[in-house]
Amino acid sequence: MKFYYSEKLSLFPELLHAFTTKESGNLAFHVEDDEISVQENHSLLAKELGYEKNSLVHMKQIHSDIVHIIKDEDFDTPPTCDALITNRPNIPIMVMVADCSPVLFYDREKKVIAAAHAGRQGAFKNIVANVVDKMVREFGSDPKHIYVSVGASIGVCCYEVGDEIYDEAKEKGFDYAMQKRGESFYLDVGAILQKQLLSCGIKSENIEFCSECSCCKTETFYSYRGEGQTGRFAGVISLTQ
Q: Check residue 175 and give its pLDDT.
A: 94
The residue among 51, 43, 40 whose CA lies nearest residue 18 is 51
Domain ranges of the chain: 3-239
Angle between the N-to-C axes of helices 189-199 and 127-139, in degrees from 0 to 180, rounded to the nearest 10? 30
* Dihedral over Cα of 139, 140, 146, 151: its sign: positive
Averaged over 146-158, what is the pLDDT? 98
The enclosing H or E element of 115 equals strand 112-118
pLDDT at 2 over 90: no
Give the number of other CB atoms < 10 A from CB of residue 124.
20
The residue among 201, 202, 193, 204 whose CA lies nearest residue 125 is 193
Amino acid at 155: G
Averaged over 100-125, what is the pLDDT? 98
Q: Does domain 3-239 have CATH number 3.90.25.10?
A: no
- Using CB atoms within 10 Å of the CB of residue 187, give its burial: 0 to 12 exposed, 13 to 18 middle, 19+ buried: buried
Give the number of other CB atoms < 10 A from CB of residue 49.
18
Averaged over 128-155, what is the pLDDT? 98
**Average pLDDT taken over every residue of the chain:** 96
- Per-residue pLDDT tens for 182-195? 999 999 999 999 99
Amino acid at 180: K
